[in-house]
């Protein structure tokens, strides 16, 4: 047992993963979380790792960037991904979870670890320089602490506006109209689909655009800077008559067997809906359904009125309405090393969405790396960087000073980034076929990570055996 303790501030996805990794390397952890004593504009519980926007971790298949990132995290026994796998719900080709069971399980697991001490209070300042600390407070970091972070870095924070989708009771939808299917019949029929004809769609869009917006209280009154991957549905509607139909309301590949043969082209073109609203299970039984792609800033009565115009949802009852919140993040390329250490203080790390990564698995990846490096530092060893051939390594390079393009060109403003094949280095040999190219990315990543993990295991010697127990 070492004398040094690591402090992790924030028990979201990144903080939970970091604390788990550190404790399993034999290093004691103090995990600080302000909820439920103080909440945020988006959280609803005091559980660890609460998923506030969606219950989806993205595509499962490793030929997709999100899927490859999940695969890499499994190599390192990520608590977040292992818990997500355990509480997965049907979602076609995606990894989606029962978010309540997921966060309760995370809380129980971390609370019962012998080397993790849970502290429930609001951290108002950075811990002293003597402490090894991980900042994993997320994009909803409380104001007082963020002002202290700004004072420490000397750089103003960046921000964007994010939103969450409504959730409805599954037994309040009209089963005579709504049909179950996955796109192109891939996998089990995991989604509930609400078909719209052209008149339904036009009327719905018009009401959506006219709908009364909630005030962005506590936020600046400037024109909203939305994150493009999570636009409010009404903002998508304003961008053009058919924008929703080529986005979250895309009908291609969704088919009710009652309409005949999906692969009968003439019949398909004749009967295919003008648009389709999809609902995804929040739990295995389908008692709760998430409106896919329906992030919104409409006032709650307006959500109820307008979303009930969707065929099959005329009598829908809402468990939770959609909300919008402001997400704040660091201008990380000016502040962080690829190890996630601050350049100004080697024993201070940042991890998760506060660093400018986007997506649940990416937050876990930041927690994984910060946790490993904090453990190494606690044991008097040098921090490490993930290989750049991996999706984890590429993401960490993007948000760190390895990202020289964004660091050096003032005209380029640093923006949050999800996992993307566009971040990984090109293959030495060009492969035109996309499937073969993505397969080559996977193989290269797996080989690089296996070598990296073998070297990492040797760094921890017998101490790392603790991770085999939990």
Question: DSSP states of 200-242 as a string?
Answer: HHHHHHHHHHHSPBPP-TTS--SPP-B-GGG--HHHHHHT-TT
The reply to whether 134 and 260 lie within a common domain is: no
Q: Which pLDDT value is given to residue 263?
A: 67
Q: Which of 301, 322, 343 is the last residue of a domain?
A: 322
Q: Which helix (H) or strand (E) holds 349?
A: strand 345-350
Residue 412 lies in a domain: yes
Question: Which domain covers residue 227, as residue numbers?
Answer: 167-322
In this structure, the dihedral spanned by the alpha carbons of residues 131, 132, 137 and 139, taken in order and rounded to 10 degrees, is 120
How far apart are the C-alpha atoms of 337 and 24, rounded to whole Å?
Answer: 24
**60 contacts: CB under 8 Å, gap ≥ 6:** 67, 70, 93, 94, 95
Residues 153, 171 within the same domain: no
314 plus 338 within the same structural domain: no
Whether residues 259 and 342 share a domain: the answer is no
Q: Which residues pair with 328 in a beta bridge?
A: 159
Whether residue 462 is found in the same domain as residue 420 = yes
Residues 239 and 373 in one domain: no
Domain count for the chain, please give it.
2
Q: How many separate helices (H) and strands (E) can be counted in the chain? A: 14, 17
1 in a structural domain:
no
- Which pair of structure tokens corresponds to residue 21? 């990794």
Q: What is the DSSP string of 179-193?
A: EEE-GGG-SS--EEE
Domain boundary among 299, 322, 345: 322
The whole-number pLDDT of residue 445 equals 95
Residue 358 shares a structural domain with residue 386: yes
Of the three residues 322, 356, 375, the one that is the final residue of a domain is 322
**pLDDT tens per residue across all 470 residues of the chain:** 445 889 999 999 999 999 999 999 999 999 999 888 777 766 678 799 898 878 899 989 988 999 999 999 999 999 999 999 999 998 888 899 998 999 999 999 999 999 999 999 888 889 888 899 999 998 788 888 888 988 898 887 777 777 778 999 999 999 999 999 988 777 678 899 999 999 999 999 999 999 998 876 544 444 455 556 678 899 999 999 999 999 999 998 888 888 877 666 666 667 789 999 999 998 788 888 999 999 898 999 999 999 999 999 999 999 889 887 777 888 899 999 999 999 999 999 999 999 989 889 999 999 999 999 999 999 999 999 999 999 999 999 999 976 654 444 444 577 788 898 888 898 988 888 888 998 999 999 999 999 999 888 877 755 444 444 33
The per-residue pLDDT for 140 is 81
Q: At 287, which CATH number? A: 2.40.30
**Six token digits for residue 206:** 């018009």
Q: What predicted TM-score, i.e. pTM, was given to this entire model?
A: 0.78
Same domain flag for 114 and 205: no
For residues 283 and 176, state if they share a domain.
yes
pLDDT value, residue 21: 95
* Whether residues 264 and 233 fall in one domain: yes
Is the domain of 374 the same as that of 437?
yes
Task: Determine the Cα–Cα distance for residues 469 and 123; give it in Å rounded to an integer.
Answer: 31
Beta-sheet pairing, 6-9 with 29-33: parallel
Tell me, yes or no, whether 154 and 279 share the same domain: no
Helices (H), 262-357: 265-271, 300-307
Give, for 31, the enclosing helix (H) or strand (E).
strand 29-33
- Asked whether residue 331 is domain-assigned, the answer is yes
Q: Whose CA is closest to 469, among 17, 117, 103, 115?
A: 115
Taking the C-alpha atoms of residue 331 and residue 156, their distance in angstroms, rounded to an integer, is 8
Residue 349's domain is classified under what CATH number?
3.50.50.60
Question: Residue 343: phi, psi to the nearest 5?
Answer: -60, -35
């Amino acid at each position: 047992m070492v004398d040094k303790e690591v402090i992790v501030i924030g028990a979201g996805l990144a903080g939970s993963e970091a604390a788990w990794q550190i404790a399993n390397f034999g290093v004691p952890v103090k995990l600080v979380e302000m909820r439920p004593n103080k909440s945020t504009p988006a959280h609803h519980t005091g559980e660890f790792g609460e998923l506030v926007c969606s219950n989806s971790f993205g595509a499962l298949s490793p030929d997709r960037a999100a899927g490859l990132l999940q695969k890499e995290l499994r190599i390192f026994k990520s608590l977040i991904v292992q818990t997500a796998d355990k509480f997965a719900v049907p979602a076609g080709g995606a990894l989606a979870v029962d978010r309540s069971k997921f966060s309760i399980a995370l809380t129980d697991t971390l609370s019962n670890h012998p080397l993790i001490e849970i502290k429930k209070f609001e951290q108002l300042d950075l811990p002293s320089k003597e402490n090894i600390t991980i900042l994993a407070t997320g994009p909803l970091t409380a104001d007082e602490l963020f002002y202290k972070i700004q004072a420490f870095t000397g750089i103003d924070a960046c921000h964007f506006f994010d939103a969450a989708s409504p959730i409805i009771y599954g037994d309040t939808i009209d089963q005579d109209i709504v049909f179950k299917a996955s796109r192109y019949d891939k996998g089990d029929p995991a989604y509930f689909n609400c078909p719209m004809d052209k008149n339904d769609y036009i009327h719905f869009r018009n009401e959506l655009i006219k709908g009364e917006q909630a005030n962005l209280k506590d936020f600046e009154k400037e024109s909203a800077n939305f994150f493009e991957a999570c636009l409010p549905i009404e903002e998508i509607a304003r961008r053009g008559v058919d924008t929703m139909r080529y986005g979250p309301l895309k009908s291609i590949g969704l088919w009710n067997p009652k309409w005949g043969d999906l692969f009968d082209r003439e019949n398909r073109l004749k009967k295919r809906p003008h648009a389709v609203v999809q609902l995804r299970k929040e739990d295995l039984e389908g008692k709760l359904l998430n409106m896919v792609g329906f992030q919104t800033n409409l006032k709650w009565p307006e959500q109820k009125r307008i979303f009930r115009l969707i065929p099959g949802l005329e009598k829908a009852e809402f468990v939770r309405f959609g909300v919008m919140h402001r997400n704040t993040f660091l201008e990380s390329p000016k502040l962080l090393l690829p190890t996630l250490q601050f350049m100004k203080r080697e024993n201070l790390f940042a991890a998760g969405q506060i660093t400018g990564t986007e997506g649940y698995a990416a937050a876990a990846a930041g927690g994984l790396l910060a946790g490993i490096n904090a453990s190494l530092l606690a044991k008097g060893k040098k921090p490490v960087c993930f290989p750049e051939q991996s999706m984890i390594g590429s993401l960490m390079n993007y948000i760190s000073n390895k990202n020289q393009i964004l660091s050096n060109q003032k005209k380029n403003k640093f923006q949050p980034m999800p996992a993307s094949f566009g971040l990984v280095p090109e293959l030495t040999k060009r492969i035109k076929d996309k499937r073969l190219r993505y397969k080559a990315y996977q193989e290269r990543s797996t080989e690089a990570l296996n070598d990296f993990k073998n070297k990492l295991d040797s760094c921890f010697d017998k101490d790392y055996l603790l991770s085999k127990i939990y």
